Structure 1
């Protein structure tokens, strides 16, 4: 495997794990009714523990891969001089904080109950915000750079709420089909649906603004970066269509069609998760390319 391929793979895993962690945290800290949160935290614990571990691992691997890419290849990943040079760059300084925050996210599991869940969500959101200070999101200077970074934070957090919340959505949907936690699960689903509209709108609008800031209008060229960006746009459009079908066609049929409509809702949500994973892969690919 080439270093570039390793970097792309680690970036894909990093985005997926971090968004899953934040998405689950939104449920256990904000969306679920207070009496339902301990139970839901237990149901989502395997997902959140795995996401915390993968986030820390991918954070360290991304720094290691970036060191090799900034040097002359695999050999420089063990060079103290290259590591020192990388850590003194803008990327290196930001990524040191990313490593520390990811470690704090794993240590948050030492805290029990609501305090640990709140700390997990906070660490995930801080890492998402920190991603706005590296890569293409940090290309511009001055007021345009400030707008770009804030816009990227909004984009990433909105995407974490939406895409990262899809797997927990399936878990809560299955809970709503049982008698024990049906009422609280339905309330949680309604809250996700309500705020999900805002998250989708923020993702779309911030994505458009970010493209305009990087590429201008009309774009001067249509190279591989723009082609992959168009693929991402198509995937997000398909996700949006599925979300609209779920909310405005399937949900009203829950009482009339019962288990059939609910099962179809779960299947379409799983399809949406696959599309989200492909969109993150496209992002991981064009992150290594020059905008154009």
Structure 2
């Protein structure tokens, strides 16, 4: 995933250096971006698992178990969008005094495509929050809403730096990258709960079926993440990075993290899953350890994305 879950900040202008007596807007925006990514990935990945991969009865039980976390994630998505709006204005204006300045906000949100993307993303986040907090709509409707929310990251960022057909290709590739990466990482959050059901005679068959489906879809998701990541890097940098700039160094770190995630996933699937035949409890413990390791690595990837999106590529 050379450009995993990439979603650049809504601008890439060089900002004036100013005296920082408080937390810089850049720091707050990076935190808001990380919060949004984490929330959107969790919503989409878990919803895919409970609404599509799991059989109906198991899906309902897992959805009930994860309901509180998903509702909280939808609220985080909204709050991170709200936080991003004045913080972006402060970055453009060169200080916090411009965060709520009417002229600066008007110029950003009405006069730039990046501002339009921010407002649309905030609107989508609000709709998704209503779906989860009000328990409205079918599970698949929630999944579709979560997919749109995650895909909305393609409305701004490096993909929008191109023009014409190249831009369309870049945006489409980015959407696939976001959704495949979100499915992979987000689904891991509900995987231990599904594994625990293997011990229950009443739920074991459904849990086994869900895990088989996850394994098949997971292979495709990992392959898509890697392929679209390579394409993203080539489109942004014009080829393989020379690792000379801060952006390229951070990108290299991200590639290493994603490669490690893929290695752990392969270990889980081809070493520990076969162990279920001889020792179910031990195999489940090993798979859960691997899952938590993947989640930790994925969190580090998201943190890097939050920073990378605010650095000029090159």
TM range, normalised to the smaller chain?
over 0.9
Q: What is the aligned partner in structure 1 of residue 313 from structure 2?
A: 291
How many residue pairs match? The answer is: 291
Residue by residue over 1:164-217, the C-alpha shift from the partner in whole angstroms, topping out at 9 and shown as x without a partner, is 111111221122233332111111111111101010011000000000001112
Q: Distance in 1 between the 2:85 and 2:185 partners? A: 25
Q: Name the one with the larger helix percent.
A: 1
Aligned-residue Cα RMSD (Å) equals 1.5
Q: Aligned match of 1:52 in 74, 93, 104? A: 74
Q: Give 3-state SS (helix, strand or coil) of 1:37's partner.
A: helix
Which structure has more relative contact order (CA 8 Å, sep 6+)? It is 2
Residue by residue over 1:44-81, the C-alpha shift from the partner in whole angstroms, topping out at 9 and shown as x without a partner, is 11221111111111111122211111112111111111
Q: Does 2-11 or 117-126 show the bigger shift?
A: 117-126
Q: What is the aligned partner in structure 1 of residue 232 from structure 2?
A: 210
Change (3 A) 1:218 1:28: closer
Q: Aligned match of 2:216 in 180, 194, 207? A: 194
Gaps of 5+ in 1: none
Contact 1:225 / 1:289 at 8 angstroms: preserved in 2?
A: yes
1:30 aligns with 2:28: no
Q: What is the aligned partner in structure 2 of residue 256 from structure 1?
A: 278
Residue by residue over 1:198-250, the C-alpha shift from the partner in whole angstroms, topping out at 9 and shown as x without a partner, is 10011000000000001112546620001000000000000000000000110
Q: What is the aligned partner in structure 1 of residue 176 from structure 2?
A: 154
1:174 aligns with 2:167: no
Q: Does 104-113 or 75-84 show the bigger shift?
A: 104-113
Contact 1:22 / 1:160 at 8 angstroms: preserved in 2?
A: yes
Q: Aligned match of 2:144 in 122, 130, 134? A: 122
Change (3 A) 1:57 1:116: farther
Scaled by the length of structure 1, the TM-score of the pair is 0.96
Q: Distance in 2 between the 1:175 and 1:93 partners? A: 44
In the TM superposition, what is the alpha-carbon distance from 1:87 to its structure 2 partner?
0.4
Q: Give 3-state SS (helix, strand or coil) of 1:211's partner.
A: helix
Q: Does 220-229 or 185-194 show the bigger shift?
A: 220-229
1:94 aligns with 2:117: yes
Q: Distance in 1 between the 2:284 and 2:191 partners? A: 12
Q: Distance in 1 between the 2:223 and 2:191 partners? A: 19
Q: Distance in 2 between the 1:182 and 1:265 partners? A: 16
